[in-house]
Amino acid sequence: MGYPILGCGFLLAARLAYGHTTRQSALAQNRVSGQAEQACHTAASRPLAIYGYGWHFSSDREGNSLQSLMGGKVRSELRTSAAFPGNDVNARWIDVPGQPFYSGNELGEHTRHLAVCDWLIANLLDDLAESLRRLPARTLLHVHLCLRSRLKPGPVVDQMRRILKNRHPSLDLRVEHEETLPIFTTDAWLDQKTEKTVHMVIAIQLRDAISKLLDGGVAEVGTALLLGNLRLFEEADASTLRLHRPARGEMNDVTKVVGLASRWGNADARNQYSGWIQGLPTDDLGQIRRAANLDEEMSWRQIEASVGDCSEAGEWLAVALAAASADATSNTQLILCAQGNELIALVCRKEL
C-alpha cells in the first residue's frame, strides 16, 4: 500500500527537481544573453570625437552664424534670380565677396563654381586650422571630398593636398574624392582600429545659379567636420564633443531606430534638447515624434526650411550644426536624416 504512494512521491519530487533545474538553467541562460547584449551595446556606444566643424551657406558672417539660424533669421525665401533677373526664385546661392557674377552661359557658370569652390575651401580649412595644428605629428589625415559642381574633382583634390601640405607639414595626408558619402559611413569609422587616423569631411554642393532658373528650395553650401578616435584626441587635448554610432532602418521602424541611437548616445529620447532633420517632409515630423515617444516640447530645425535643400551635403551640414549647438549649449542633439525610405538617427553631445 505504501509503495504506490512512495512511487508517486518520488515522481513528483523528480518532476519538481527537473522543473527547478530547467528554470535555473533558463535564468542563467537569460543572464548570459543579457550580459552579451549589454556588452554589444557598450561596445557600440563608443563614440567618435568631433575635433572641428564649419559651414558656409552665406558669405555674410552674421547670416551664416548659428545664432542667426537658431533665432529664425535664416530661412529659405524668395530672391531675384541671378540667371533671369526678371524672375524670383526660392533658392540660395553663395556670392563671393568682391567677385560679382552676372547672368551667363555654362562657361561663366564654370568660372563662378571655381571661384566659389576656392572661397569655400579656404574658409572651411580656416575653420579647422586650429584643430589641425593640435594634432600629433604623423597623424594620418584622411580627407573625404564630396563635391557636387561643374568642376572636375581631380584638380580640387590636388589643390586641397597642396594647401594642407603647406599648412600642416607634420601630418600624413590622404585626399580622396567620394562619389557618395552618407553619414552612416561614420559607423565603419567607429569600427576601425587605427587610432592615428583622423577623418576630415569636406562636403560642397554648388548650383547653376547664373545660367539656369533654379528649382524651388535648393541651396549651395560647403561644410566641414574633423572626426577621429577618442584616444588620439585626448592626446591632442581635444574638445569634448562626441558623435555617437548611427542607427538606421525603414521609416516605419522609427521607434527602434531612434531608440538605438538614443541608447548608444546615452540619451533619453524623451528628453532631447533639440533635433536637426534633413530629407524629411515636415508632415512626417509629428508621426515620427509620436512613434519615437519624443518630448512634445523638443525643438526641431529642418535644414530645408532654413538653409534649403543641400542634397547629400545637407546630412553633414546637419551634423556640423548639431555639433556647434551642443558646443554652445552643452545640450544633447538628435540628428534625423532620410534617404528614400530609410531613416538614419544619431546623437551628438558634449561630455561635461
Give me the mean pLDDT over the 84-99 stretch: 96
The number of angstroms, rounded, from the C-alpha of 261 to the middle of its chain's C-alpha atoms is 12
Strands (E), 39-139: 48-56, 78-80, 88-90
236 phi-psi bin (left φ>0, alpha ψ -120 to 50, beta other): alpha
* Residue 2: pLDDT over 90: no
Query: Is the pLDDT score of 51 beyond 50?
Result: yes
* Helix H or strand E segment including 31: helix 2-44
Tell me the residue type at 215.
D
Chain segment 292-334, per-residue pLDDT in tens: 778 777 888 999 999 999 999 999 999 999 999 999 998 999 9
Q: How many other CB atoms are there within 10 angstroms of residue 282's CB atom?
A: 11
Average pLDDT value over all residues in the chain? 88
Cα gap 112→118, rounded to integer Å:
10
Average pLDDT, stretch 74-87?
94
pLDDT of 113-123, one tens digit each?
Answer: 999 999 999 99
Q: What is the pLDDT of residue 53?
A: 98
CB 213 within 8 A of CB 81: yes
Whole-number pLDDT of residue 274: 86
Over residues 211-257, the pLDDT tens digits come to: 999 999 999 999 999 999 888 776 655 568 999 999 999 988 999 99
Element (H, E) at 65: none
- In terms of pLDDT, which residue wins out, 5 or 194? 194
The set of cell numbers assigned to 273 is 534638447
pTM of the model: 0.87
Spatial CB neighbours of 60, under 8 Å, sequence gap ≥ 6: none
What's the pLDDT score for residue 44? 61
* Side chain identity, residue 268: D
205 by Cβ neighbours in 10 Å (0-12 / 13-18 / 19+) ranks as buried
Task: Considering only residues 1 and 52, tell me which one the structure prediction assigns the higher pLDDT.
Answer: 52
Residues 142-184 have pLDDT tens digits of 999 999 999 999 999 999 999 999 999 999 999 999 999 999 9
Q: Is 178 helix (H, G, I), strand (E, B) or coil?
A: coil
Distance CA 18, CA 35 (A): 25
Q: To the nearest whole percent, how much of the chain has pLDDT over 90?
A: 70
What are 321's three cell numbers?
550644426
Q: Is the pLDDT of residue 271 over 50?
A: yes
pLDDT reading at 186 higher than 80: yes
Q: Is 142 helix (H, G, I), strand (E, B) or coil?
A: strand
Q: How far apart are the C-alpha atoms of 77 and 75, rounded to whole Å?
A: 6
Report the chain's terminal Cα–Cα distance, integer Å: 77
Beta strand ranges found along 152-220 (DSSP E):
172-177, 197-205
Residue pair 138/170 in contact by the 8 Å Cβ criterion: yes
Q: What is the pLDDT of residue 294?
A: 81
Higher-pLDDT residue of 12 and 35 is: 12
What letter represents residue 306's amino acid? S
Instruction: Report the alpha-carbon distance of residue 321 to residue 243 in Å, rounded.
Output: 12
Give the three cell numbers for residue 210. 547664373
Domains of the chain: 48-235 (3.40.47.10), 244-350 (3.40.47.10)
pLDDT of residue 41: 46
Comparing C-alpha atoms, which of 217, 214, 147, 143 is closest to residue 176? 143
pLDDT at 62: 94
What's the pLDDT at 268? 73
Question: Would you state the cell numbers that stand for residue 50, as one nine-digit string?
Answer: 568631433
Backbone angles phi and psi of 340, in degrees to 5: 65, -125
Residue 15 has pLDDT above 90, yes or no: no
The set of residues, in sequence order, having a beta carbon less than 8 Å from that of 266 and lying 6+ positions away, is 45, 244, 347, 349
Amino acid at 298: M
In which band, very low, low, confident or very high, does the pLDDT at 8 lie, cut at 50, 70 and 90?
A: low
